[in-house]
Amino acid sequence: MMKETFATHIASDSARIGVALTLIFLLLAACGERHGPTGAEPIDATNPTPGVALPPDTDSVPATPPAAEQRPHEVTAPHGATRQDEYYWLRDDERADPDMLAYLEAENDYTDAVMAPLDDSKAALYEEIVGRIKQDDSSVPYKYKDYWYYTRFEEGREYPIYARREGNMDAPEEIMLDVNELAEGHDFYQVGNWKVSPDQALLAYVEDTVGRRQYTLRVKNLGGGETLSVQIPGLSTSLAWTADSRTVFYVVNDEETLLTRWVRTHTLGGEAGSDPVVYEELDDSFYMGLSTTRSEKYICIGLDSTVSSELRCTEAAAPGEFRILAPRERDFEYSADHLDSRWVIRTNWNAENFKLMEVGEDVWGDRSQWRDLIEHDADVFIGGFELFDDFMAVGERSGGLTRVSIVEQDGRTHYVDADETAYTMALSVNAEPDTDQLRYTYTSMTTPASTYELNVRTGERTLLKEQPVLGGFDKNNYVTARLWATARDGAQIPVSVLHRNGFERDGTAALLQYGYGSYGFSNDPRFSSNVLSLVDRGMVYALAHIRGGQEMGRSWYDDGKLLNKLNTFTDFIDVTDYLVDQGYAAPDRVAAMGGSAGGLLVGAVANLAPEKYRVIVSLVPFVDVVTTMLDASIPLTTNEYDEWGNPEDEAYYDYILSYSPYDQLEAKDYPAMFVSTGLWDSQVQYWEPSKYVARLRARKTDDNLVVYRVQMEAGHGGQSGRFRRYLETAEQYAFLLNQLGVETPVASQ
């Protein structure tokens, strides 16, 4: 469940809050996209029956899958509707119940046993994936004030090193954080965010040593190198420094719901226990985060629910009252940035696809004074913007693709050129507004993540970096295309496909179809070197841009949420039918994959059309929708009512129940499945997939293999470290390819 922190839109997240920012594409390439396809290895040639994993001893009987105990338990809604949940006992908020832990360990042991015949495939797959990564890599440096900032990796090491150089890149390197050293002694470690103070002498950062996404604030003296005694736990990742570099604003989470609840400030030298609360959010449907404006004049608290926004700001040089730019109102959303004595505002006010407006910096709480800057366009969705002294860059979405426009001070607009018909373009790190150079990122399913710098005055474009892909990669060996599938209600669904050059659409290939379709997250076509392990073996990889995302504008999202949610699932099935009909895949060699809310997607699809899929990979899946949405104590539930609906309302209860994967499991044949979770997951609690697998085993009528991998020291994003997580994906894809019967030989490069 829940909004994905890994979801990135074309909106600029602004380097104004981001001396802490690094190039997201570098990290995705180095660490792997958690819920995207991550490579594969062919089946063991000694296995004569594709789709059947042999036990370690081919003369023995396969291991027996665990059977969780059934304990009667009623879940009753406020309106009186009652459901039996025989596996409810698997929930333990403390994660200490011995019966529950024994069941999870039994599932892991069973997975170990039935996956043992694929150990060689997993090992080879892992080496193949890692072999494409340039291990001693670094991001494109960006300049902020006196320093050039960048992230680099060292060969064989799991974690990044955050560094800078004063003046130019020939100056001595200053290592701000070596995450490899910080991670020593921890099974899981993550730096969630870092931010350099305005005087560039101090570094505030937050760390997680469990995977629960509950962070601890630390502060480091960059001059002396020592880490200060500050240790404040239970936080989100948001940070902001005051202008004097002496005080840090941070966000404290509710201990039970994990919702962002309080904004506090810590002044260096003070006692953390006495840090004052400067804001408390009482509405459980809102998330909040901190930012510093592009001008660096204001520190702002951004408050967002699914259908409403509010921005409260105070002066960074003299923090005090947080003034409201525009008060919250249902179905009114906005975000804003400040530069050159004005606010520029992105809003849906009378603009379904959003528009840009402006207002003087002294106008607070009165949106009647806002003026249109870029008017609403029914065919163009505005995703974000970045302010510069002499121009503005706007991230847009049109026709299912992203683009960047340059808006001059006189209103003239021109677009950054794209090189392909299916691609993803986004604003990159533009740390300072006083420049004619615009940085943006570009990628497609055949083009590795690339960072460009465009001179908006001369039009000169410079490629700063294309992410290296080792192992003999040649983009000319691959073909990507944008297709359009017709949904059962007539809607045209964009589909991005990737396959080898020379591929023949003869209806015999294996296909992996990936989808998400929630929260308005657009699942754009990006390069993944791991997918090469699929297509090099003759497979087709497809992204289904289904409703519930925002690929085709705001209406695409609205048509796939609340009481329109079934469109998300039927769109996915209709894309499968289209690809099979067009000869991209054999009808009995189709795999589906999704993670988190995408796990809800493939879980619903498995109930609606199990005969259309040979195998399903469901990662940290949100599958127990009704029970979770009825329980406001579960982290993040209350913020999701406008995404799924509140089942305390009987109409929403009935609708959600009609597609909830856990509730709709029944006595019938299901595809083979690989399901995963992390014990410390804060987004989708571990007990949802645990209950799902237990009930699936008890009810299904087929002999298809179901494996359940529980990461006991991880959360929603899986294991930490850029290499360790590939062990997870190697296992998932060894399973998937074995079930699809993909041949062993790799296509020649």
Dmax (CA) for the chain in angstroms is: 80
Q: Can you tell me which residue has the tokens 């595809």?
A: 671
Sort residue 611 into left (φ over 0), alpha (ψ -120 to 50) or beta.
alpha
Q: Which domain holds residue 239?
A: 185-295
Clarify whether residues 99 and 198 are in a common domain.
no
Are the C-beta atoms of residues 383 and 395 closer than 8 Å to each other? yes
Residue 348 lies in a domain: no
Are the C-beta atoms of residues 400 and 483 closer than 8 Å to each other? no
DSSP code at position 183: T
Residue 214 lies in a domain: yes
Both tokens of residue 667?
């006595």
Residue numbers in the chain where pLDDT is lower than 50: 1-61, 745, 747-749
Sort residue 296 into left (φ over 0), alpha (ψ -120 to 50) or beta.
left
Both tokens of residue 223?
């001059």
Are the C-beta atoms of residues 397 and 346 closer than 8 Å to each other? no
Both tokens of residue 461?
């474009």
Distance between CA atoms of residues 246 and 239, nearest Å: 13
Q: What is the dihedral of CA 569, 610, 118, 536, to 10 degrees?
A: -60
First to last CA, the chain: 40
The last residue of a domain, from among 264, 295, 326: 295
Question: Mapping DSSP to helix (H, G, I), strand (E, B) and coil, where does residue 718 land?
Answer: strand
Residue 667 lies in a domain: yes
Of 34, 14, 26, 20, nearest in space to 683 by CA: 34
Distance between CA atoms of residues 244 and 391, nearest Å: 29
Helix (H) or strand (E) holding 688: helix 687-699
Q: Which residues contact 271 (CB under 8 A, 6 or more apart)?
A: none
Distance between CA atoms of residues 338 and 224, nearest Å: 34
Are the C-beta atoms of residues 258 and 636 closer than 8 Å to each other? yes
Active-site annotation holds for 681: yes
* Cα 65 off chain centre by: 32
Report the CATH number that the domain containing residue 227 is assigned in CATH: 2.120.10.30
Residue 35 lies in a domain: no
Are the C-beta atoms of residues 653 and 586 closer than 8 Å to each other? no
Q: Give the helix ranges, DSSP H, for 116-167.
A: 119-131
Both tokens of residue 735?
């399973």
- Residue 273: HSE in the Cβ half-sphere, 13 Å Cα cutoff: 0
Active-site annotation holds for 85: no
Are the C-beta atoms of residues 675 and 651 closer than 8 Å to each other? no
Active-site annotation holds for 748: no
Clarify whether residues 86 and 219 are in a common domain.
no
What pLDDT sits at residue 396?
A: 96
Clarify whether residues 690 and 616 are in a common domain.
yes
3-state helix, strand and coil shares in percent for the chain, rounded to the nearest 5: 20, 30, 50
Residue 23 lies in a domain: no
Strand partners, 481: 497
Q: Count other Cβ atoms within 10 Å, centred on residue 458.
A: 8
Mean pLDDT of the residues in the chain: 88
Taking only Cα atoms into account, the Rg of the chain, rounded to an integer number of angstroms, comes to 25
H helix and E strand count, the chain: 13, 37
Residue 706 lies in a domain: yes
Clarify whether residues 587 and 718 are in a common domain.
yes
Distance between CA atoms of residues 394 and 381, nearest Å: 10
Distance between CA atoms of residues 473 and 325, nearest Å: 50
The last residue of a domain, from among 295, 317, 335: 295
Q: Which amino acid is at 53?
A: A
Residue 369 lies in a domain: no
Report the CATH number that the domain containing residue 107 is assigned in CATH: 3.40.50.1820
Q: Can you tell me which residue has the tokens 């465009």?
A: 454
Backbone angles phi, psi at 26, to 5 degrees: -65, -45
CA angle 676–677–683, rounded 5-degree value: 135
Clarify whether residues 507 and 617 are in a common domain.
yes
Are the C-beta atoms of residues 707 and 618 closer than 8 Å to each other? no
Both tokens of residue 473?
């990669």
Per annotation, catalytic residue among 681, 682, 690, 720: 681
Of 42, 8, 40, nearest in space to 24 by CA: 8
Distance between CA atoms of residues 354 and 297, nearest Å: 26
Per annotation, catalytic residue among 138, 285, 596, 682: 596
If one counts the domains in the chain, the total is 2
Clarify whether residues 119 and 265 are in a common domain.
no
Question: Mapping DSSP to helix (H, G, I), strand (E, B) and coil, where does residue 436 land?
Answer: coil
What pLDDT sits at residue 716?
A: 56
Q: Can you tell me which residue has the tokens 């040649």?
A: 474
Distance between CA atoms of residues 617 and 605, nearest Å: 12
Clarify whether residues 728 and 599 are in a common domain.
yes
Are the C-beta atoms of residues 88 and 691 closer than 8 Å to each other? yes
Q: Count other Cβ atoms within 10 Å, centred on residue 652.
A: 18
Q: Which residues contact 438 (CB under 8 A, 6 or more apart)?
A: 388, 393, 404, 406, 416, 427, 430, 453, 454, 456
Clarify whether residues 195 and 117 are in a common domain.
no
Are the C-beta atoms of residues 629 and 646 closer than 8 Å to each other? yes
Clarify whether residues 502 and 647 are in a common domain.
yes
Clarify whether residues 115 and 192 are in a common domain.
no
Q: What's this model's pTM, rounded to 2 decimal places?
A: 0.85
Q: Count other Cβ atoms within 10 Å, centred on residue 114.
A: 20
Clarify whether residues 615 and 481 are in a common domain.
yes
Please, what's the b/e burial string for 234-269 (b: 16 or more CB within 10 A of its CB; e: otherwise)?
Answer: bbbbbbbbbbeebbbbbbbbeeebbbbbbbbbbebe
Distance between CA atoms of residues 638 and 635, nearest Å: 8
CA angle 46–52–56, rounded 5-degree value: 60
Clarify whether residues 127 and 199 are in a common domain.
no
pLDDT in tens, 342-396: 999 999 999 999 999 999 999 999 999 999 999 999 999 999 999 999 999 999 9
Of 404, 328, 384, 354, nearest in space to 15 by CA: 384
Residue 442 lies in a domain: no
Q: Are strands 461-466 and 450-455 parallel, antiparallel or unpaired?
A: antiparallel
The last residue of a domain, from among 265, 295, 325: 295
Q: Which residues contact 402 (CB under 8 A, 6 or more apart)?
A: 10, 383, 395, 396, 423, 424, 425, 426, 522, 524
Q: Which amino acid is at 564?
A: N
